[in-house]
């Protein structure tokens, strides 16, 4: 069995390669190997490789920069999934596409269900919503949130750097969501594919948090592992005190009950996965 894995230099792509089931051959694709803004190149690659799966973990993820580069964001996030779906429709095979909580507006008071209406509030969110529609009904679409992994570019590692440099940090406390360890997400992506599911699913770690809560936990866990010499003062602030070009959802908790039922397992709490990731980070040196 063969899978094309895009975004292999990113957190989810690396995790997908690391968790590939026995019997699967993965063709690892980075930006140099495949330009996701080129639909013709996508079609040619799928025709040449004829994969059983395309695991599309690549994306334009610069949320704020997307506000000034909407065409590129939409080409990569919005059009590429459609190009993969069209090509796979000719060769056979299934598309597994990673999406985001940013397709929602953040106004819900309860966890978002897979079938809830999309209402993105940013260029990035709109481009990912377009990608979901382009992927089509035969695809497996998995929305996730606040992804992190050892060695990656993410909130956890940014906080570790700042906590070593500063005595006090200000962190937004009025945006609520759920951290997601990339390894757990990768296992869900493979699991849904092997179970031959279709449609939209959600994946996140168990529990909810604000960015402030997440930062406090990072400091405490990192200090206990010796990654930080001291725990800095962390000050909760409002989103209005930290303006950004792109609007973030104030509440983006995803309901994962349908996903866990489909796979017959349970989500692991985000703090447990955070501790595992930090142990891996420590091992990297």
**Residue pLDDT, tens place only, 68-93:** 999 999 999 999 999 999 999 999 99
Per-residue confidence (pLDDT) for residue 172, from 0 to 100: 98
pLDDT tens for each residue of 108-153:
989 999 999 999 999 999 999 999 999 999 999 999 999 999 999 9
The reported pTM is 0.96
pLDDT tens for each residue of 202-212:
999 999 999 99
Q: Is 199 helix (H, G, I), strand (E, B) or coil?
A: strand
Per-residue confidence (pLDDT) for residue 28, from 0 to 100: 97
- Map tokens 């206990």 to a residue: 224
- List CB contacts of 199: < 8 A, sequence separation 6 or more: 114, 137, 140, 141
Q: What is the DSSP letter of 137?
A: T
Burial of 204 (0-12, 13-18, 19+ CB in 10 A): buried
- Map tokens 């940014």 to a residue: 158
Per-residue confidence (pLDDT) for residue 159, from 0 to 100: 98
- In this prediction, residue 64 has a pLDDT band, given cuts at 50, 70 and 90, of very high
Q: Provide the annotated active-site residues.
A: 124
Decide which of 1.50.10.10, 3.40.1280.10, 3.40.50.720, 3.40.250.10 is the CATH code for 2-153+178-206+251-268. Answer: 3.40.50.720
- List CB contacts of 142: < 8 A, sequence separation 6 or more: 96, 97, 98, 99, 185, 188, 189, 192, 200, 201, 202, 203, 259
Per-residue confidence (pLDDT) for residue 109, from 0 to 100: 85
Give the tokens for residue 198: 């279709």
- List CB contacts of 54: < 8 A, sequence separation 6 or more: 3, 4, 6, 46, 84, 88, 93, 94, 95, 96
Give the tokens for residue 72: 């590129």
Q: Report percent pLDDT > 90 for the chain.
A: 99
């Amino acid at each position: 069995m063969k899978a094309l894995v895009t975004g292999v230099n990113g957190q989810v792509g690396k995790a997908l390669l690391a968790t590939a089931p026995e019997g699967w051959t993965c063709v690892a694709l980075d930006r140099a190997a495949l330009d996701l803004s080129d639909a013709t190149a996508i079609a040619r690659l799928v025709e040449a490789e004829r994969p059983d799966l395309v695991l599309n973990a690549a994306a334009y993820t610069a949320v704020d920069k997307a506000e000034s580069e909407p065409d590129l964001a939409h080409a990569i996030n919005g059009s590429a999934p459609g190009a993969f779906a069209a090509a796979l429709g000719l060769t056979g095979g299934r598309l597994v596409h990673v999406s985001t909580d940013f397709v929602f507006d953040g106004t819900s008071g309860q966890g978002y269900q897979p079938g809830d209406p999309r209402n993105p509030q940013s260029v990035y969110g709109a481009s990912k919503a377009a990608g979901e529609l382009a992927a089509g009904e035969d695809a497996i679409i998995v929305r996730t949130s606040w992804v992190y992994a050892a060695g990656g570019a993410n909130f956890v590692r940014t906080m570790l750097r700042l906590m070593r440099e500063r005595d006090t940090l200000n962190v937004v406390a009025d945006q609520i969501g759920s951290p997601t360890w990339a390894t757990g997400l990768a296992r869900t992506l493979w699991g849904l594919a092997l179970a031959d599911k279709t449609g939209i699913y959600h994946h996140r770690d168990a529990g909810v948090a604000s960015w402030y809560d997440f930062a406090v936990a990072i400091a405490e866990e990192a200090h206990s592992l010796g990654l930080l010499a001291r725990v800095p003062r962390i000050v909760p602030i409002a989103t209005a005190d930290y303006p950004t070009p792109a609007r973030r959802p104030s509440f983006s908790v995803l309901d994962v009950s349908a996903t866990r039922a489909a796979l017959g397992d349970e989500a692991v709490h985000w703090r447990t996965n955070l501790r595992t990731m930090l142990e891996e980070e420590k091992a990297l040196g």
